[in-house]
């Protein structure tokens, strides 16, 4: 009985110390509410930096001293966080660490975790940092603070961080296609990687138009890019198919002939991707580039394969001057706008664009259109696969003579593969 009473009292004490957002460290939380880990030491104290945007009486502090590169502390919340409407968390931060120090904000719960990184933009003054959790489920009831993530702290002033006023707020609706950067309630946060820096900016040729500016910096990698939105991707999947396979992007580039790559993927599985590439044709002018995902970039997965496997594409990333590092090209500025999924409006097979075309004269099929059978002309033939336009495999063979009598009339895609693994895709019309 005494054990039961003790456990009940302990449970009630833990619940009593659980917190809710917003947290301002004035009355609702104490040093004992923090759970430190791996070298992080948290406390609540009188504000030692009463200045600028933060003149409150009390703040929290974390000192990182030795331990792990992820050293920090966390707080339990009374209820799970709900990001269906209030999709962002902001916090005031003060540090003397260099500009660009990573502050990782992590959420934990029984069902897993989610985390976001934001870099500081000032030193020795308060600033508000914001982490976007758009699309995350209501599974998290711990907030975790990891300052200067990736480095081991040494207990010095640059390993000491003050923070205050943790709030959850509406940061705009989830981004989706078509995308034009003109909405007043849309979250236009971009996710840069590899050395890109993106900003919502005025159109360089029309100050009344909003566009996304992307700087591929002098330290950028060959694969530096910008994801259109947060790690949650678009609000709805891109309805790509083998007939409706195009996305158009309005692009401004400092030079003609720049390779621009576009990648689509599953926000929940980064191995499910499809990439395609095209080049700019004008310099310092806007042009609309068409990215056709049935014309995949070399070494990347076929759209037909992804569709056959049921992959969902709900995220897109754009890469400017793909394949060239910033150290070679120097820092360059690009702009993009009006990202649209191109959906065909119907019509007969005669007035549709060619879906897939011959990419190598060493691979051919005839006749095409065909009524009863087709012949494959290619050296070192290995296999042929016929797909519907939705990406479903309907026929597979290693024979060069293919009987089509059992197939319904319509448009298909045939993929040919040779003995060394080279693949090509063609439009096949069955009459």
Q: What's the whole-number mean pLDDT along residues 290-310?
A: 91
- What would the two tokens of residue 94 be? 């003060």
Q: How confident is the model at residue 52 (pLDDT cuts 50, 70, 90)?
A: very high
If you average pLDDT over each of 16-30, 75-89, 411-425, which comes out highest? 75-89
Query: Which range, of 181-185, 281-285, 346-350, averages the lowest pLDDT?
Result: 346-350
Q: Does 349 or 182 have the greater pLDDT score?
A: 182
Q: What's the whole-number mean pLDDT along residues 408-431?
A: 82
pLDDT of residue 101: 96
Q: What's the whole-number mean pLDDT along residues 150-169?
A: 96
Q: Does 393 or 192 have the greater pLDDT score?
A: 192
pLDDT of residue 360: 43
pLDDT of residue 287: 95
Going by C-alpha positions, the residue among 126, 159, 123 that lies closest to residue 39 is 159
Query: Which range, of 236-240, 302-306, 389-393, 407-411, averages the lowest pLDDT?
Result: 389-393
| Same fold yes or no, 2-169 and 191-342 | yes
Q: What is the CATH number of domain 2-169?
A: 2.60.120.260
Model pTM score: 0.60
pLDDT of residue 427: 78
Write down the CATH superfamily of domain 191-342.
Answer: Galactose-binding lectin (2.60.120.430)
Give the chain as a 3 state SS string: CHHHHHHHHHHHHHHHHCECCCECCCCCCCHHHEEEECCEEEEEEECCCCECCECCCEEEEEEEEECCCCCEEEEEECCCCCCCCCCEEEEEEEECCCCCCEEEEEEEECCEEEEEEEECCCCCCCEEEEEECCCCCCCCCEEEEEECCCCCEECCHHHEEEEEEEEEECCCECCCCCECCCCCCECCCCEEECCEEEEEEEECCEEEEEEEEEEECCCCCCCCEEECCCCCCCCCCCCCCCCCCEEEEEEECCCCCCEEEEEEEECCEEEEEEEEEEECCCCCCEEEEEEECCCECCCCCCHHHHHHCCCCCCEEEEEECCCCCHHHHCCEEEEEEEEEEECCCCCCCCCCCCCCCCCCCCEEEECCCECCEEEEEECCEEEEEEECCCCCEEEEECCCEEECCCCCCEEEEEEEEECCCCEEEEEEEEC
Going by C-alpha positions, the residue among 29, 128, 34 that lies closest to residue 74 is 34
Bridge partners, residue 118, by sequence: 103
Tokens 């754009």, residue? 318
Q: Cα-flanking dihedrals φ and ψ of residue 345, to 5°?
A: -105, 30
Within 13 Å of residue 277, how many CA atoms lie on the same side as its CB? 16
Please, what is the Cα angle at 159 between 154 and 162, to 5 degrees? 150
| Total Cβ atoms within 10 A of residue 137 | 15
pLDDT of residue 223: 97
Q: List, for residues 24-47, the tens digit of each pLDDT value.
A: 999 888 999 999 999 999 999 999
Q: Does 370 or 60 have the greater pLDDT score?
A: 60
Class of domain 363-430: mainly beta
Query: Could you tell me the residue ranges of all domains in the chain?
Result: 2-169, 191-342, 363-430
pLDDT of residue 359: 35
| Total Cβ atoms within 10 A of residue 346 | 7
pLDDT of residue 363: 62
């Amino acid at each position: 009985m005494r054990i039961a009473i003790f456990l009940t009292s302990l449970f009630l004490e833990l619940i009593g110390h659980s917190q809710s957002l917003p947290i301002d460290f004035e009355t609702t939380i104490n040093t004992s509410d923090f759970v430190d880990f791996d070298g992080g030491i948290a406390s609540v104290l009188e504000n030692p930096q009463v200045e600028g945007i933060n003149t409150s009486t009390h703040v929290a502090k974390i000192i990182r001293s030795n331990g792990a590169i992820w050293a920090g502390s966390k707080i339990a919340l009374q209820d799970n966080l709900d990001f269906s409407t209030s999709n962002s968390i902001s916090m005031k931060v003060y540090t003397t660490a260099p500009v660009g120090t990573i502050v990782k904000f992590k959420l934990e719960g029984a069902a897993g975790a989610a985390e976001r990184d934001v870099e500081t933009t000032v030193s020795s003054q308060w600033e508000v940092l914001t982490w976007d959790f758009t699309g995350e489920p209501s599974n998290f009831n711990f907030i975790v603070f990891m300052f200067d993530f990736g480095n081991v702290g040494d207990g010095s002033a640059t390993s000491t961080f003050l923070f205050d006023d943790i709030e959850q707020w509406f940061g705009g609706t989830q981004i989706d296609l078509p995308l034009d950067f003109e909405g007043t309630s849309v979250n236009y946060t971009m996710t840069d990687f590899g050395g890109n820096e993106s900003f919502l900016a005025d159109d360089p040729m029309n100050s009344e138009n909003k566009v996304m500016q992307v700087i591929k910096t002098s330290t950028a990698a060959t694969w530096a890019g910008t994801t259109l939105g947060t790690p949650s991707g678009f609000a709805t999947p891109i309805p790509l198919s083998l007939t409706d396979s195009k996305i158009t992007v309005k692009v401004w580039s400092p030079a003609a002939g720049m390779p621009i790559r576009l990648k689509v993927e599953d926000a929940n599985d980064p191995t499910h991707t499809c990439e395609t590439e095209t080049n700019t044709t004008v310099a310092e002018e806007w042009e609309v580039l068409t990215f056709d995902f049935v014309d995949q970039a070399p070494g990347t997965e076929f759209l037909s394969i992804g569709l056959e496997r049921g992959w969902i594409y709900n995220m897109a990333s754009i890469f400017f001057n793909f394949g060239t590092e910033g150290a070679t090209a120097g820092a360059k500025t690009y702009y993009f706008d009006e990202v649209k999924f191109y959906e065909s409006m119907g019509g007969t097979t005669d007035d549709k664009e060619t879906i897939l075309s011959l990419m190598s004269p060493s691979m051919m099929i005839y006749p095409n259109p065909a009524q009863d059978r087709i012949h494959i002309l290619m050296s070192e033939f290995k296999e042929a696969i016929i797909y519907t336009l939705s990406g479903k495999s309907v026929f597979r063979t290693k024979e060069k003579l293919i009987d089509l009598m059992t197939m319904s009339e319509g448009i298909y895609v045939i993929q040919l593969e040779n003995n060394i693994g080279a693949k090509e895709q063609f439009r096949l019309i069955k009459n």
